[in-house]
Amino acid sequence: MEADVSGTVLKRERTRDAVLELIESRSPGDAIPSERALCSLLGVSRPTVRAAVDELVAAGLLVREHGRGMFVAPAKITQELVAGDRALTVPQAAGAWSSRLLEFTTLQAGARVGRKLRMSPAAEIVYVARLRLVDGAPMAIEHLHIRAELVPGLSAQELESGDLYEHLRTTHGVHVHEAVQAIEPTVVTRAEAKLLDVPELSPALLFERLTSDTAGRPVEYVHSLYRGDRYRIVSRLALGAAAEVAPDREGHHPGIPPGDFAHGDAITSSTRGDIQTGA
């Protein structure tokens, strides 16, 4: 019995690898053979092919289109992380990033956000929700919570132009200094799925970030949900001495909207094993 199960698993794994080779030899949007054709090509049963294909669809590598067939999925957006002792100056994520404002309002912080920002639950914050898009396709939902006292008169247009930290520095003398961020896997709710154009309970990456100024005062708390089928994090680990790398201040940082630090102070990237945002 165990040998039969082991043989089935191995056969499915080999089938998956064969289909993966087909995917890697094609470009996004290209068709791959039908399940029936794959059965004949690989010499395996229909259930074995379907199980392998289902796994690749769930992983965001294949797309099924009813009545048309199977196609290579769009390439994932890859974001590189750097070691914690360097300024957060990671390479720019691929694609043209844009955003659509979902909500912009002033409200009371409440217990949870107030605790993270070390302020009274009754104190006011600016709350912003926006949908981030790459080349026009939805990629992430971001929820920003900013101390209202720090951004009097802040407009949606100013925020969308990426001038928030410029505004803090030049208008109020607030210098952003450090951002502690954590990443964990999650799934999307029905409402989130509708915004991101994915099935309910699809995998996603949850980013939580707390940004502080040079005095150690929390300035902003952000939590963002990135599509798991389209976004990938790659870590570069320094295992020995290396030449100093000149910082690149441009680019989209993981979990940080493009432009938010384009004109601001360097942000320290801290790698932690759990949520370090005051929870």
End-to-end CA distance of the chain, in Å? 48
107/113 Cα distance (integer angstroms) = 11
| Tokens standing for residue 270 | 């801290």
Q: Is this model's pTM higher than 0.75 or not? A: no
Residue 185 — very low, low, confident or very high, per pLDDT cuts 50/70/90? confident
The mean of the pLDDT values for the chain is 79
Q: What distances in angstroms separate CA 69 from CA 32, 199, 224, one per listed residue?
A: 8, 19, 33
Query: Phi and psi at residue 5, in whole multiples of 5°?
Result: -65, -45
pLDDT of residue 162: 62
The answer on pLDDT for 112 being more than 80 is yes
pLDDT of residue 88: 40
DSSP class per residue in 19-85: HHHHHHTS-TT-EE--HHHHHHHHT--HHHHHHHHHHHHHTTSEEEETTTEEEEPPPPEEEEE--TT
Which H/E stretch holds residue 105? strand 97-108
pLDDT of residue 156: 84
| Tokens standing for residue 264 | 């601001």
Nearest to 101 by CA among 67, 69, 126, 72: 126
pLDDT of residue 9: 67
Mean pLDDT within 141-165:
83
Mean pLDDT within 122-126:
95
Tell me which residue has tokens 């005051």. Answer: 278
The answer on pLDDT for 138 being more than 60 is yes
59/196 Cα distance (integer angstroms) = 16
Cβ–Cβ under 8 Å, residues 179 and 210:
yes
Q: Which residues contact 165 (CB under 8 A, 6 or more apart)?
A: 176, 260, 261, 263, 264, 265
pLDDT of residue 245: 52
